[in-house]
Amino acid sequence: MVEPDRPDHRALIAELQSPRFEVGVRQGHWRIISFEWPFLVVGVRTRDGAELAFRCSCIGYPAQRPEIGLWNAERGCSLSPAERPTMTGRYSLIFRTDWESGLHIYHPMDRLAFVTHGNWLVDLRFKLWIPDRGFTQLCQELHNILTSNEYQPGRKRAA
């Protein structure tokens, strides 16, 4: 497969090869499951040692935040509602299925979620995408969420 020669692709490759991304991989916090431009599928370790996969469309990276959705990496499709973990508290809506058919996470680092919620620029200013922090910032945020007490293990999951 011919790799595209475009700045967003090059920037993403550089981030995935950076020590700050690698250290998370080496600690078992996240890993690359597959990468076929513009879709990067990452697996993120959860509080109970399971793994959740996210498919991220990275066109325009890093100036544009990715589009992020829960993913079933075995079947190559969006993770079904029955397979999604339950979240409580501050993140109870993050994996909601009643918004955009559940194809995007409900978080300001997702491009569609952000552009459709103008109030988040202020209300969720501590959770915004920072281009300089790159894709690693997203993996750190997802890992923090999935290892918090608000992640409730128990549902069937597939990565």
Contacts of 52 (CB under 8 A, 6+ apart): 43, 44, 46, 70, 79, 85, 142, 146, 157, 159
Q: Which is closer to other proteins, CB of 9 or CB of 20?
A: 20
Q: Is residue 14 a contact point for other proteins (CB under 8 A)?
A: no
Torsion angle in degrees (nearest 10) through CA of 30, 33, 39, 40: 20
Cα separation, 125 vs 106, in Å, equals 15
Residue 44-83 contact track with other proteins, rule CB under 8 A, x = bound: ----------------------------------------
If the CB atoms of residues 51 and 110 are measured against other proteins, the closer one turns out to be 110
90 binds other proteins (CB under 8 A): yes
- State the nearest-atom distance from the C-beta of 126 to other proteins, in Å: 5
8 A C-beta contact, residue 61 and residue 8 = yes
CA–CA dist 44, 61 (Å, integer): 20
Query: Which residues of this chain interact with other proteins, rule CB under 8 A?
Result: 18-20, 22-23, 26-27, 89-91, 93-94, 106-108, 117, 123-128, 130, 133, 140, 144, 148-149
